[in-house]
Structure 1
């Protein structure tokens, strides 16, 4: 059932106002599109719980401990999000990763360390984690990626804290910061992350600092 939440739009606009580092035209266009979609839907949260094959659960009121789900589809933004686990495996809630992107066109001048966090199932850097989840085929998909700052802010819930997210859809969420895909354009050894303790803002930090990760993908019209 969609939850009326006008603060969702405020969250995204507030986050956009705090993005002090230069961003590319593509990222700015993505921000505008997210704002347009959320504003057009009145700032609601509208999620669908998905099983391991990416299919909607028959019972959307299911409790995770009874009928666990693997992903959540945001019916407003058109994004699909990874749901964390509590099983000590690849997607465990307590896994942390250093920011790592070997692509020189996207890493802001420094790739970051590839294995500096604490995790299971992959090397503990963000690039390795993306690869591992795609090899696993989470929710029937192999195009998972790191989210932008603005994408992360679309799931911040300002009416919640510790964690600042709707845990009815995103269980096993640790109240901590989650890495975004974006390096800091001014400081090569830093990258941006988004706070999910209070949902205050996005900040930058050393790429070598371990943080949590939640992957995202774009949902095709037919999904």
Structure 2
């Protein structure tokens, strides 16, 4: 029997409680050898290199991320308080950052931000070993919302969903470098 987290039941179970494995093409299962299986992490610790300077590199994408959301610091992001900024302020914050002696920090695209999502884990939907103390809230992306100039895409680490948000809205920020 596959044990599906409550958070994902709406996606992967039919009305009779039967699993639809065809709806889970990107997920990997861990067989426990006792007739049960659970979903394996989609972003396990092993895909990240921790540089021990507050940054981690995703080996699949080559992107280097700040481990802490803006406003937080410390080995487990325990110090400070997460900043919630308007989109233009988030862009400026990225431009001005020289964190870990790098000066090319930027806001991630919506796809880059989504690459951090831990599928079917509940809030926060991110690897909390590599990105500790991440709120299950919306984070800004640099990606514009099609057809609406004053809206940009944001990604929720509470619901695994993308949302268009007015650029004046105060949202959390996580910076990235590399790629593009």
Q: For the Cα contact (< 8 Å) 2:43–2:116, is it kept in 1?
A: no
- 1:146 counterpart = 2:107: yes
Give, in whole Å, the separation in 1 of the partners of 2:108 and 2:61: 13
* Mapping of residues 4-83 of structure 1, within 5 Å: 10=26, 45=44, 46-52=47-53, 70-83=54-67
Match of 2:79 among 76, 80, 87: 87
TM-score of the aligned structures, taking structure 1 as reference length: 0.55
**Which of the two has greater strand per residue?**
2
TM-score (norm 2): 0.67
1:35 alignment counterpart: none
Counterpart of 1:174? 135
Which has the greater radius of gyration?
2
Structure 1 position 190 matched with structure 2 position 178:
no
Q: CA RMSD in A?
A: 2.3
Alpha carbons of structure 1 residues 9 and 152: separation in structure 2 relative to 1, 3 Å: farther
Q: Say whether the 8 Å CA contact 1:158–1:164 is kept in structure 2.
A: yes
Give the whole-Å Cα distance in 2 for the aligned partners of 1:212 and 1:48: 23
> Which segments of 5 or more consecutive residues in structure 2 lack a partner in the other structure?
1-22, 28-41
Picking from 166, 172, 178, the partner of 1:212 is: 172
- Alpha-carbon offset, residue 131 of structure 1: 2.7
